[in-house]
Structure 1
């Protein structure tokens, strides 16, 4: 999946989550499922496209 497709899926899922939360409540099973699916998409995006910054130890 290319970056633009993944971003489009993330935006679509985010809109779906907002609609589900407004309609059914934030703790409804529908909203929770959407939230988990959005988390998976965001995790995939982070794995593929966000560069890791080395942590500095103090």
Structure 2
């Protein structure tokens, strides 16, 4: 996956999370699930791209 694709996926997941929390509340099971998915994407992006730039 390219850097641009990863950023696009992160933005899509962020929008989905905002929509889910608006409908179901911040502490709903589905919102927590989406939040965890977003965390995984952000962690992967950080691991692949940000830590390399810091070296």
TM-score normalised by the chain length of structure 1: 0.86
State the alpha-carbon separation in 2 of the partners of residues 39 and 51 from structure 1. 16
Distance in 1 between residues matched to 2:51 and 2:38, nearest whole Å: 20
Whole-angstrom distance in 2 between the partners of 1:18 and 1:36: 13
Unaligned runs of 5+ in 1: none
Q: Any unmatched runs of 5+ in structure 2?
A: none
How far has the Cα of 1:51 moved from its partner?
Answer: 2.5
Structure (1 or 2) with the larger CA radius of gyration: 1
Query: Larger RCO: Structure 1 or Structure 2 (Cα < 8 Å, ≥ 6 residues apart)?
Result: 2
CA RMSD of aligned residues (A): 1.4
Q: How many residues align?
A: 54
Partner of 1:18: 18
